[in-house]
Amino acid sequence: MPMPKWWGHVNKRVFNPRALAVGKWPVLTHTGRNSGTTYRTPLDAYPIDGGYLFILVYGSRSDWVRNILAAGHARLRIDGHDLELDTPRLVSEAEALQALPEKAHPPRLLRITEFLQMDLAPEPLTR
């Protein structure tokens, strides 16, 4: 886990509420794996072929990542549109960096090696 855990707590309680209030960040809505509570997490979401890629700054043991892996789906609000995402999976650093544009690669100094990929859920059939 490249970023210290204490910084994640500060981020969750101080910066995330501000980011939600401003409304400029993509927001991932997910359900707590134990509580069933709905959570909204602002973060960077990078579009890739067929879905989105998330850089796991705090690693795969973050609550939001564990919630999504347990649920198997989440909703992403980006640019005023809601997208349903499913099939969450951790992907290798090599696979993630190949899919991301060069300008989106995390700085090597942060030693980030974990990434989450999710697919766009198929549109429901209408009758």
- Tens of pLDDT, residue by residue over 80-119, are 899 999 999 999 999 999 999 888 888 787 788 999 999 9
- Tens of pLDDT, residue by residue over 3-62, are 556 555 555 555 555 555 566 778 999 999 999 999 988 888 999 999 999 999 888 998
DSSP per residue, the chain: --S-HHHHHHIIIIIHHHHHHH--S-EEEEE-TTT--EEEEE---EEETTEEEEE-TT-TTSHHHHHHHHHSEEEEEETTEEEEEEEEEEE-HHHHHHHS-GGGSPPGGG----EEEEEEPPPPP--
pTM score: 0.80
